Copies of this chain bind each other. A is one copy, B any other.
Amino acid sequence: MIELEIQTGTKNELVDITLQVGDAVARSAVKSGICHLFMPHTTAGVTLNENWDPSVKLDILRTLDSMAPQRRDYRHAEGNSPAHLKAMMVGFSATVPINEGRLVLRTWQGIYLAEFDGPRKRRVLIQVLAG
């Protein structure tokens, strides 16, 4: 298992980690299989999306905010219930195929750490499975 450590910079943020994940795959020497990403956190997720126009990230974060508004009457005393929900919707794991030793991603398709309760130091666990 390879572990990335990522320092996020603000409360809600999509951090592009495509290059770091690609490095992990290259180091594994696996030519064909699956790259499994897992977040050992409950207020940040991992997902994929377009990495060309940064507006896409802003639109996604704003729409998630409209679905799980910060100001709702939540019970959870820490006040980060929207972060728990948003991370769950985005997902705590992602899997990407590996072919010829590289991640199979389309042009402009990137892998993102989805921070919803930052800034924090986050870990991403990477496993490369041959198959």
Interface residues of chain A, those whose CB is within 8 Å of chain B, are 1, 32-34, 36, 38, 40-42, 47-50, 53, 55-56, 58-60, 63-64, 67-68, 72, 74-78, 81-82, 84-85, 88-97, 99, 104-106, 108-109, 125, 127-131
Contacts and interface: CB of A to CB of B under 8 A. Distances in A.
A47 B92 contact: yes
Contact of A96 (B38, B58, B94): B38
A105 to B, nearest CB: 7
B78 A53 contact: yes
A38 B84 contact: no
B94 A93 contact: yes
Nearest to A40: B106
A89 B129 CA distance: 25
Given A63-B72, A130-B131, A42 B50 contact: yes
7 contacts: A38-B104, A40-B106, A53-B78, A59-B81, A60-B84, A60-B88, A64-B85
